[in-house]
Amino acid sequence: MPCTCGNWRRWIRPLVATVYLVGLLVAVPLCVWELQKLEVGVHTKAWFIAGIFLLMTIPISLWGILQHLVHYTQPELQKPIIRILWMVPIYSLDSWIALKYPNIAIYVDTCRECYEAYVIYNFMVFLSNYLTNRYPNLVLIIEAKDQQRHLPPLCCCPPWAMGEVLLFRCKLGVLQYTVVRPFTTITALICELIGVYDEGNFSFKNAWTYLVFINNISQLFAMYCLVLFYKVLREELNPIRPVGKFLCVKMVVFVSFWQAALIAILVKVGVISEKHTWEWQSVEAVATGLQDFIICVEMFFAAIAHHYSFTYKPYVQEAEEGSCFDSFLAMWDIS
């Protein structure tokens, strides 16, 4: 028998809010106690401040996810949206844990980076599902458009034929990152275990430099294909206001990578040096900790942006059906 639970849409939100408040009442005293028993240095202060941003970020993201579950009326669109919304709490919690325990940062960051690729995949699924459902003859629509030339810096390359070829190559260009990123992440983990990774140090003698280069090329091409895809189908995508959604995904996924690269450059040129490592073990650990701290702060603003860009309001319908079990099952479905 399905778990309809009566008017579950009425009580599920107060229940989740109550559970979060109870968790908050437990977590805050524990954090304060942890702060009191430790020598309060820069590292500890950074961890505590990042924790404050974490506690502000999670309820914003969970509220957006919960609202989509309550108004789960278009599964083909809301399923990828819910997966994208999970990105912010996962990033925030992962970075906070890595900031607290620098020795395991490489391992928890592996989960974050793999989910990053999953988010790119789901964003493309979201756009594709919308276009497919609304425009069954999408290929014919693209074929009827004027030839789209390549954008800089590939403007000298032969243009892709309008129609199925362009659609397939844009999707392939975006989705290649969802394969490359997990591969380089797992490779980084293996290199760390055998001692040849050396994160944050630009040198041709370590694996980190080469993996950064591969990720860089893969990300740039994925972003290029996504922009080209939007440029060709701008009119068709306008009803779902794709620009805000595009910027949200771009800022969280791609800016975090370039941010890490910039911090590594600051280490290389000596702006971040061995003279000031505070409680961290090395200057590379300082760079990683700084990246994690910045991400914790940024995710608060990202949560607000996601709340408005991926709003549940277009999916609210007066006659809504479905059990709470079906909605929660949809949230965890990774198919």
Domain range annotation of the chain: 40-106+236-316, 136-233
DSSP, residue by residue, 157-211: SPPPPTTHHHHHHHHHHHHHHHHHHHHHHHHHHHHHHHT---TT---TTSHHHHH
In the chain, the percentage of residues whose pLDDT exceeds 70 is 85
Query: Is-contact 202 265, C-beta < 8 A?
Result: yes
For residue 30, the model assigns a pLDDT of 73
For 81-111, the pLDDT digits (tens) are 999 999 999 999 999 998 888 888 888 888 8
Phi and psi based region of residue 270 (left: phi greater than 0; alpha: psi -120 to 50; beta: remaining) = left
Mean pLDDT to the nearest integer, 224-230 = 91
Return the SS3 of 328.
helix
Rg of the chain (C-alpha set): 22
For residue 305, the model assigns a pLDDT of 95
Asked whether the bond before 153 is cis by omega within 30 degrees of 0, the reply is yes
Which of the pair, 9 or 191, is modelled with greater confidence? Answer: 191
pLDDT reading at 328 higher than 70:
no
221 confidence band (pLDDT: 50, 70, 90): very high
For residue 290, the model assigns a pLDDT of 86
For residue 176, the model assigns a pLDDT of 94
Task: Give the whole-angstrom CA distance, residue 122 versus residue 39.
Answer: 43
pLDDT reading at 312 higher than 60:
yes
Mean pLDDT of the residues in the chain: 83
For 18-34, the pLDDT digits (tens) are 777 777 777 777 777 76
Which of the pair, 310 or 37, is modelled with greater confidence? Answer: 310
In the chain, the percentage of residues whose pLDDT exceeds 90 is 39
For 140-191, the pLDDT digits (tens) are 999 999 999 988 888 888 999 999 999 999 999 999 998 999 899 889 889 9
Mean pLDDT to the nearest integer, 41-65 = 87
For 248-284, the pLDDT digits (tens) are 988 877 787 778 878 878 877 777 766 665 566 677 7
For residue 3, the model assigns a pLDDT of 46
pLDDT reading at 325 higher than 50:
yes
Which residues, 6 or more positions from 237, have their beta carbon under 8 angstroms from its beta carbon? Answer: 127, 130, 131, 230
For residue 4, the model assigns a pLDDT of 47
For residue 1, the model assigns a pLDDT of 41
Q: Exposure of 171 by Cβ count < 10 A (0-12 exposed, 13-18 middle, 19+ buried)?
A: middle
Task: Give the whole-angstrom CA distance, residue 228 versus residue 290.
Answer: 34
